[in-house]
């Protein structure tokens, strides 16, 4: 069973009904069937709430998170271990947001692949990326 951390970018594709939403829904179906373990960083939850609240309100964000959790995704808290990984990562790659450093570190700490559409994650290393093609 593969472990997959879902980045904010892929989850917002569903919420905002973007072109790649079908690909993400396929991955979520695999989680629902128990084929993969799906994880969401608490930092991604912050970003999801911020962006969805702006366009649809807090209640829409709450319902969306509940939908994700009911599909089998688990929210991973920011532990001391994750924080100790994210800080140096942010120092080494200052272009990363703090949330992105935490999300990448969540994948690393959980020995998971990172499902993202964020091309800014290329070149970071340490985590296998899925969902985007380099270039």
Q: What is the pLDDT of residues 82-95, one digit of tens each?
A: 999 999 999 999 99
Return the domain boundaries, the chain.
8-130
CATH code of the region 8-130: 3.40.50.1010
As a whole number of angstroms, the distance between CA 44 and CA 41 comes to 5
For every residue of 4-49, DSSP letters joined together read EEEPHHHHHHHHTT-TTHHHHHHHHHHHHTTSEEEEEEHHHHHHHH
pLDDT at 134 over 50: no
* pTM for the full predicted model: 0.92
Which residues, including other chains, have CB under 8 Å from residue 54's CB and lie 6 or more apart? none
């Amino acid at each position: 069973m593969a472990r997959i951390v879902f980045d904010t970018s892929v989850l917002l594709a569903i919420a905002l009904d973007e072109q790649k939403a079908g690909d993400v829904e396929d991955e979520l179906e695999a989680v629902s069937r128990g084929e993969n373990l799906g994880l969401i960083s608490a930092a991604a939850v912050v970003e999801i709430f911020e962006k969805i609240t702006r366009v649809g309100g807090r209640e829409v964000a709450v319902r969306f998170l509940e939908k994700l959790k009911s599909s089998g995704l688990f929210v991973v808290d920011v532990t001391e271990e994750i924080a100790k990984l994210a800080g140096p990562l942010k120092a080494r790659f200052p272009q990363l947001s703090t949330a992105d450093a935490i999300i990448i570190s969540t994948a690393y700490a959980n020995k998971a692949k990172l499902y993202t559409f964020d091309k800014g994650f290329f070149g970071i290393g340490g985590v296998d990326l899925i969902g985007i093609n380099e270039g």
